[in-house]
Structure 1
Amino acid sequence: MTSASVPAAELHPFRDSALPLRKRIDDLLGRLTPEERLAMLHQYVPAVPRLGIAAFRTGSEALHGVAWLGEATVFPQAVGLGASWDEALLRRVAEAVSVELRAFHRTRPPAVAPDRGPTSLQAWAPVLNLLRDPRWGRNEEGYSEDPVHTARLGTAYCRGLAGDHPTYLRTAPVLKHFLAYNNEDGRCTTSSGLRPRVLQEYDLAAFRPVVASGAATGAMAAYNLVNGRPCHVSPLIEDELRRWARGTGHELFVVSDAEAPSNLVDPEHYFDDHAEGHAAALKAGIDNFTDHGEDSDTVVGRLREALERGLVSQDDVDAAVRRQLDVRFRLGEFDPELDPYAGIGPDVVNCPEHRELARRAAVESTVLLKNDGLLPLGSARTSRVAVIGPLSDTLCEDWYSGTLPYRATVADGLTAALGDLGGEVVRVEGSDRITLRSRTTGELLGGAAFDVTDWGRAVLTLREADTGRYLCLQEDATLAASTRVIKSWSVRETFHLEPAEDGAVLVRSVFTGRYAAVDPAGGRVTVTAESPEAAERFRREVLRDGTAEARAAAEDADAAVVVLGNHPLINGRETEDRVDTALPAGQEALLRAVAAVRPQTALVVMSSYPYALDWADAHLPAVLWTSHGGQETGHALAAVLLGDAEPAGRLPQTWYRGHDTLPAPLDYDIITAGWTYQYHRAAPLYPFGHGLSYTEFTHRDLRLSETSIDRDGALDATLTLANTGRRAGSEVVQLYVRALDARYRAPRLRLADFTKVRLEPGESRELGFHLPADRFAHWDVATGAFTVDPGAYEIVVARSAEHPVLTAPLTVTGPPPRPRAVIERRVLAADFDEQADSALVDATRTEGDAVTPADPARPAVLSFRRLDLSGAARVEVETAREAVGTGAARLEFRVGDQPVAKIDVPVTGDRYSWTTVVAELSTPLVGVHDLQVTLHGGVRLAAFRFGATDTAG
């Protein structure tokens, strides 16, 4: 093509692919007007026709398949992929997802905004939030409760999304959600309290390696607050995320979560107006605002106002635009003739290779929790198999899954597999079939019979027997069986059937809380009654006893497979946490009834999160778990149940016992609360890393290249793994470290490395692990840095966090840690060693943490260990107190059993108005001591300083 035939807009230097990327970005940025740059800060970026620049949109969901754009290959949920412990597999899955996203980008119009450009190639995945609490409604979206495991799989998924080209990205992966986001109830107003050790060793540790590797191109800020400050204005975006990325050659493009910038004003009330809130987010590092849907004018107007008021500068705007342009250039937008991925077409979507990969992923993520010899099902048990349960013959989509192109259910998979062997599958859902007849009109609700499924907490779905469609609350408050697949943000297909007098039932919508009522004149049923008294009484007639039918099928079978679990959009989902880990009562009763007549019963739990399976573990011969595994779930599970494939998964999180009282959902201090395998003391039902095999493995000959290293050293650990069984199989070799006699509250174990190995019968392999000393590091609050203490450690090879098989001692050498120097040094209150009843809060809106009592009526206690207090004669405290509250506000300092200072805290009038108060110690101090600081009332403490002389001004 000659220059004469090239449009003038294409002759600008930013079109020259031979120029360095930075120069191209500089050129394009310089050609954009200030207003055009401002417009680029909203999710829907308009085209710039005069420069030949197309419209751009941030964000396509790609968690375990392309979502929301139509039929696409659906892989297992992220928690299921996490159970595979297989980095190579996750990379392949992400490659498939990114290829399909490229196909949608090229051939399909955008799903939401037809006039706002093609489908986005910015992939909002993976989710790196740690699965601290198994009750989290979005548990299905994360990989693991462990940061090393999560970071490794997250890096692999990012690399698969991005591709291997040195210049161009296949898609641009964005990490979700920064930071410490693990609860749905009140997610936009609750604060995750992160003491420095938890922040550095746990929550940041999942993100840090992924960003530092260069695998990720962006991140999304989380809805919640951290230490009282919204994540969208957190200094951690610049101080941590972008600092880690500096060595990669590219800055992270940070996007907001949906509507979160507006949340800064309402409901968080953190800023007085939206211009101020949006300005603060931009200055904190948010580059693009996903807010107000397609309405760019509102968001851009707020940012324009912020610019006019001097709350942000043009440089702030330009920095954000630069980061966006960096990603757009790397995605090949300005070099279509050089983009190696531009030719990907629609034939890749749900292609045979991707279907086979989906099946493999489902197999690799299936976890055998218990097996007393029932599995794999042999020929004596497969002549007639009863497949029972609400999930036995259906597959569910979750909010971030694609539209299933087909559904291979467990019953389908077993039917296909056993058909060639002359076996028979009997399908029994186990649900009651009922009618609900109005006592006012005598008419049947919906004019039909319904199959009822219990999803827990008395939440039911009613599926019309003839059509298979779910009863749904319509927009006009009527009821109709209209839903084929439950997948909408507002779930209108769930109901309570509440008992009333004389055996009647009331029909109550879970979505609105209102009851069904009948117009006595016309007989029209609407869900409009506000109270039980105004509700219609229905007579519930059972046409089919689901439990009796299941029992009969099981009794007449050689074996039973009962498939139980959750629906991803009911009782635990985005915006809703679970209240416990119990199986739905109706499902548990069904399981017990089947097991009573057919001891050869295998339980398959298909769920987005762990359940307390105490009864099943005690009474059944076999228990398996799979996440909602996508379109190939049934084929994969049939292969595992029949022994055509190995159950190759291992648990990515702890499955607690039902009687084990879990910490409060908002207690993010995993150390004090005792979260995850690292700190939980009670024995779990199934531990992190647990998973059985159909073959046997032997671990032997653990050897360390060094038995002693210094704090900057490293060692190699080797061992031999042998398959001593009669079948090929996979083992996940897990390497943990443990600090012995630590001066801090150390984890019971901490995962340091892992590898997944497949061996043939009789095969053995030597495995090697390289362990730098930083694998033994902890965050030292005294120095504000990671440190490796000298002392005794153990290297532990394990099959799970509760199943060690080999150990080796290790000594780290070096001088002993010095006492914390505090004289004439500012000690942050948040840098405590231990705490009780405290809450971490923001010292200012832009930076710093402080500590306050979690409940002003109950004092908070902070403990600081091994302080060198020699010569201390006074103490200065930095405090704030918003108003006169519940009694006196004071601080008490105690060394050992001796009180040394009491300080009354004055009212400063505002939580961000800080004052310094000085108090003489009751006695001069000498030597090294432990210090206890007690906070009473509404006091906020940012820091304290011990002085050696009485010279305060």
Structure 2
Amino acid sequence: MLCAAAAAAMLAEPALAQAPAAPQAPQGSQAEQGQPAYRDTRLPAERRAADLVARMTLEEKSRQIGHTAPAIPRLGVPAYNWWNEGLHGVARAGIATVFPQAIGMAATWDVDRMRGTADVIGTEFRAKYAERVHPDGSTDWYRGLTVWSPNINIFRDPRWGRGQETYGEDPYLTGRMGVAFIRGLQGQDPNFFKTIATAKHYAVHSGPESNRHREDVHPSAYDLEDTYLPAFRAAVTEGKVQAVMCAYNAVDGVPACASEDLMDQRLRRDWGFSGHVVSDCGAAANIYREDSLAYVKTPEEGITRALNAGMDLVCGDYRADWNTEAEATVSAVRKGMLDETVLDGALVRLFADRIRLGLFDPPAEVPFSKITAAQNDTPEHRAMSLEMAKASMTLLKNDGVLPLKGEPRRIAVVGPNADSVDALIGNYYGTPSNPVTVLAGIRARFPKAEVVYAEGTGLVGPASLPVPDAVLCADAACRTKGLKQEVFEGVALEGAPVETRTVANATFDWTGDRQSSARWTGYITPTRTGEHRFRFASDNGYRVFIDGKPVVDEWGVGDAPSILDGAIRLEAGKRYPIRVEGFQRGVKGRQRLIWSPPGQDGSDAVAAAKAADLVVFVGGLTARVEGEEMKLQVPGFAGGDRTSLDLPAPQQDLLRRLHATGKPVVLVLMNGSALSVNWADANLPAIVEAWYPGGEGGHAVAQLLAGDYSPAGRLPVTFYRSAGDLPPFADYAMKGRTYRYFGGEVLYPFGYGLSYTRFSYGAPQLSARSVSADGEITVTTQVTNTGGMDGEEVVQLYVSHPGRDGTPIRALQGFQRIGLKRGETRPVSFTLKDRQLSVVDAEGNRRVEPGRVEVWVGGGQPVSRPGLPEVAGGKAEFRITGSKTLPR
């Protein structure tokens, strides 16, 4: 869905309230005669909701299907904003515990830990709600309890910028992790939801970002059933997810948010979904907009198609001032296009869910109302974030340099992500209260070492530095140092400034949960002649003008804008007028003016390496270069997606220079998608994949280097050697994609990851040599820690159907993460039945068919290549007798 800073109409935050008050009963004859049914907490939620909807006018109904649902005072209905983000922690609502990005949590392959993490996230949503709910029970943006997560789209192609939000490329792993996350968010109370989770983006959605509002995807019936829908089915049938978000794109010519086949037939009829469907932001408008899918011609037709198909809630169109189709809904009903009972059905589902959240009941009757604001970002929650980060660390290569043998005397920490908060948090993030970068983590873990830091290079260009105070003046004669600063309420630099003063630099601490904009004016006198690159390090929009010329304009709509910068040639000693503008929403911390003056060639990093005993290069990507609909004009990237899988050239070049010093170089990657680090694999002694590891991530990396724990993260995606090995990005056919259908040699396979200890596997034992189509079979293996260190192992089970055309090479159908002491042996068992034994035919029918089945149980797939260790594990086979057709 849309990066939320596109919400230009976001309301200012209200005064704090201690706790919500239950909506007041309506005044008048009905109240005098007795309590209305919708206020009767003894009745089922659907009956209460139906009673409430029946009391509304058509105009009131039309406004309740928008994500900013207004209050209806005469009925005691508080305002509610449905839009909240919780991908890996409470997002966009100020300080919160920030867990590793979704792709990093998937790398843990740990269902129990995932569920516990989501439970904590749900607690912090309740804490935020308790802190900011109004006395009448109304809420504002990012202060509600309907969470638009998880993203369970399949990461089919590593070029997709939003793949970091997913649980990887495999339908089974995605389903297991998604179900765990949903159950943790929604809680286990029989009467109330802790929060409501939302499985998105339904369906067949995974880029390209540049065409997402116009993309018409035509998956084969086989790929739809085999790859794109299983995780959504699991989310509904097992996770009991209460909300689903329909996607921007069309599927087989029909917009996803107007697809009766996807929403009415599959989602509600086939899978039994009883919750509500919300559009992605602007997806309802895509149905009729001429510059989008243009499936129909008018908003009335668009909202009619969507509601008839099963959509209930409109997240507004950021391209049209957040129109939520209220007027079009009224018009459609009055013209006879839309049956009002269809609208009523959508509203009943929406209000029933608000009731199940306890939003219409006295707080004393809602168990989750006991959660207070103090339960946000607690030490216990941050400790859980650290444990999740440690569990996600994936060791890709190790020639014996790790774990470190004692504390090095001098460590050079180099690279664009070494001291970067961006590299900790990914996208759709909250604000960690005390973020621990890798540099900070290394300094904390190795207090006796001399730790020297040199950025050396930026992500995709030269290293950038804060513009020094000494080169800035507030007036042309430079009688006053600094810049004139004007601060405005709101994000548009409009009206009279609320604050005007002279400051040392274009630096601002946006404190408090507020919306502000600022302008700095003055003069800059560079000290070197040549090309200078400028940007404003901001979590929202910015512009820089020098000598009256626009240097960079990233005012945009993105919540986390790219690192877009601009270049201008300046002469040393010459004074130039400068104007910097920026805006900010929420609590996002310090913003500052950044430049890359001439001469930033990485020599400082090379010098630091030469003087060190160990070099830790921390590179990769951030959500400023891979993400959602963003501006970025550098080789290898396009609109948030990637055109190359290689490590960006400036980082690769510096790595080579560091390696040439002869000092051991450990490469720490921080990224949300696969990188083709072929040169590093061939030349460096150790490579760690750290993902975007959350607020405590620096500690997790440093403790891994020290050997405080043995890494057990496993890849949830394939690391290919080159984007050239893949089919075209826009092709949604799965042939040649992911470990299930890619036949070539890869750099690191799905499920791969090294350890500091060793594990051996006994031969798999089967409960039977054959199984009927409606039966089950158990596979058991003995796993032993044969190494010299306690550690965790991810036991993986893959199923293949030899000789059967059209099936995956192999498919994950079971996994368990277990901990073993040195020398300990433990049996691990998997039971296979139904869908785990099934195959899909060309028409999209899922069946259990007779024939031979092979299973592999081990510490990864049974694949290798020169340079990778042999995978421990074993193979067994059995036969299926008979056949059985499974439901869609």
1:471 to partner: Cα distance? 12
Pick the aligned partner of 1:613 from 677, 686, 701. 677
1:47 to partner: Cα distance? 1.6
Letter in 2 for 1:405: S
Give the SS at the match of 1:756: strand
**Are the equivalent residues in 1 in contact too, given 2:441–2:702 (CA < 8 A)?**
yes
Letter in 1 for 2:313: N
Q: Which residue of 1 aligns with 2:699?
A: 635
| Aligned mates of 1:684, 1:232 — CA distance in 2 | 37
Aligned positions of 1:873-884 closer than 5 A: none
**Are the equivalent residues in 2 in contact too, given 1:392–1:409 (CA < 8 A)?**
yes
Q: Which residue of 2 aligns with 1:718?
A: 780
Aligned positions of 1:355-754 closer than 5 A: 355-379=382-406, 382-396=408-422, 397-419=425-447, 422-431=448-457, 432=463, 446-447=524-525, 462=534, 473-474=543-544, 488-489=558-559, 491=561, 493-495=563-565, 497=567, 506=568, 523-524=576-577, 542-543=598-599, 545-574=600-629, 576=639, 577-658=641-722, 660-671=724-735, 674-742=736-804, 744-754=805-815
Cα 1:50–1:297 shift into 2, 3 Å: farther
| Aligned mates of 2:539, 2:253 — CA distance in 1 | 45
Q: Which residue of 2 aligns with 1:792?
A: 852
| Aligned mates of 1:288, 1:170 — CA distance in 2 | 20
**Are the equivalent residues in 1 in contact too, given 2:223–2:734 (CA < 8 A)?**
yes
Of 792-801 and 11-20, the range deviating more from structure 2: 11-20
Q: Which residue of 2 aligns with 1:80?
A: 104
Q: Which residue of 2 aligns with 1:38?
A: 62
Unaligned runs of 5+ residues in structure 2 are 1-23, 458-462, 479-521, 581-594, 631-638, 864-870
Give the SS at the match of 1:426: strand
| Aligned mates of 1:484, 1:358 — CA distance in 2 | 32
Residues 495-521 of structure 1, C-alpha deviations (whole Å, 9 max, x = no match): 355xxxxxxxx56xxxxxxxx999x9x
1:573 to partner: Cα distance? 3.6
| Aligned mates of 1:338, 1:541 — CA distance in 2 | 62
Cα 1:541–1:288 shift into 2, 3 Å: closer
Q: Which residue of 2 aligns with 1:210?
A: 235
Query: Is residue 263 of structure 2 the alignment partner of residue 263 of structure 1?
Result: no
| Aligned mates of 1:181, 1:676 — CA distance in 2 | 16
**Are the equivalent residues in 2 in contact too, given 1:471–1:493 (CA < 8 A)?**
no
**Are the equivalent residues in 2 in contact too, given 1:472–1:492 (CA < 8 A)?**
no
Aligned positions of 1:932-947 closer than 5 A: none
Cα 1:731–1:160 shift into 2, 3 Å: same
Query: Is residue 337 of structure 2 the alignment partner of residue 311 of structure 1?
Result: yes
Residues 927-951 of structure 1, C-alpha deviations (whole Å, 9 max, x = no match): xxxxxxxxxxxxxxxxxxxxxxxxx
Q: Which has the larger radius of gyration?
A: 1
| Aligned mates of 1:658, 1:296 — CA distance in 2 | 40
Cα 1:323–1:804 shift into 2, 3 Å: farther
Letter in 1 for 2:214: T
**Greater percentage in strand:** 1
Residues 821-847 of structure 1, C-alpha deviations (whole Å, 9 max, x = no match): xxxxxxxxxxxxxxxxxxxxxxxxxxx
**Are the equivalent residues in 1 in contact too, given 2:674–2:719 (CA < 8 A)?**
yes
Of 558-567 and 545-554, the range deviating more from structure 2: 545-554
Q: Which residue of 1 aligns with 2:173?
A: 149
Unaligned runs of 5+ residues in structure 1 are 453-457, 498-505, 508-515, 528-538, 818-953
1:13 to partner: Cα distance? 2.2
Cα 1:726–1:554 shift into 2, 3 Å: same
Residues 242-263 of structure 1, C-alpha deviations (whole Å, 9 max, x = no match): 23542xxx61200011111112
1:484 to partner: Cα distance? 14
Of 746-755 and 794-803, the range deviating more from structure 2: 794-803
Pick the aligned partner of 2:368 from 341, 355, 380. 341
Cα 1:305–1:233 shift into 2, 3 Å: same
Give the SS at the match of 1:150: helix
Pick the aligned partner of 1:65 from 89, 103, 124. 89
TM-score of the superposition, structure 2-length normalised?
Answer: 0.80
Cα 1:468–1:216 shift into 2, 3 Å: closer
Residues 658-701 of structure 1, C-alpha deviations (whole Å, 9 max, x = no match): 37521111111103xx1100000111100001110111111113
Provide the aligned C-alpha RMSD in A: 3.6
| Aligned mates of 2:119, 2:686 — CA distance in 1 | 35
Residues 270-307 of structure 1, C-alpha deviations (whole Å, 9 max, x = no match): 11111111111111111011114697876210011111
Cα 1:780–1:482 shift into 2, 3 Å: closer
Pick the aligned partner of 2:819 from 758, 763, 782. 758
Aligned positions of 1:799-878 closer than 5 A: 799-801=859-861, 802=863, 803=871, 805-814=873-882
1:7 to partner: Cα distance? 7.5
1:445 to partner: Cα distance? 8.8
Cα 1:449–1:192 shift into 2, 3 Å: farther
| Aligned mates of 1:85, 1:540 — CA distance in 2 | 41
Cα 1:11–1:517 shift into 2, 3 Å: farther
Q: Percent identity?
A: 34
| Aligned mates of 2:704, 2:408 — CA distance in 1 | 14
| Aligned mates of 1:129, 1:715 — CA distance in 2 | 30
* Equivalent residues, number: 761
Pick the aligned partner of 2:310 from 278, 285, 288. 285
**Are the equivalent residues in 2 in contact too, given 1:245–1:252 (CA < 8 A)?**
no
Residues 293-346 of structure 1, C-alpha deviations (whole Å, 9 max, x = no match): 697876210011111122210111011011102211110112232111113222
Residues 150-170 of structure 1, C-alpha deviations (whole Å, 9 max, x = no match): 010001001111111111111
TM-score of the superposition, structure 1-length normalised?
Answer: 0.75
Give the SS at the match of 1:701: coil
| Aligned mates of 1:574, 1:449 — CA distance in 2 | 36
Higher relative contact order (CA 8 A, sep 6+): 2
Q: Which residue of 1 aligns with 2:218?
A: 193
**Are the equivalent residues in 2 in contact too, given 1:95–1:163 (CA < 8 A)?**
yes
Cα 1:490–1:150 shift into 2, 3 Å: closer
**Are the equivalent residues in 1 in contact too, given 2:541–2:558 (CA < 8 A)?**
no
| Aligned mates of 1:481, 1:360 — CA distance in 2 | 43
| Aligned mates of 2:84, 2:374 — CA distance in 1 | 20
Cα 1:478–1:653 shift into 2, 3 Å: farther
Letter in 2 for 1:283: N
**Are the equivalent residues in 2 in contact too, given 1:376–1:642 (CA < 8 A)?**
yes
| Aligned mates of 1:760, 1:23 — CA distance in 2 | 55
Cα 1:815–1:329 shift into 2, 3 Å: closer
**Are the equivalent residues in 2 in contact too, given 1:162–1:169 (CA < 8 A)?**
yes
| Aligned mates of 1:359, 1:284 — CA distance in 2 | 43
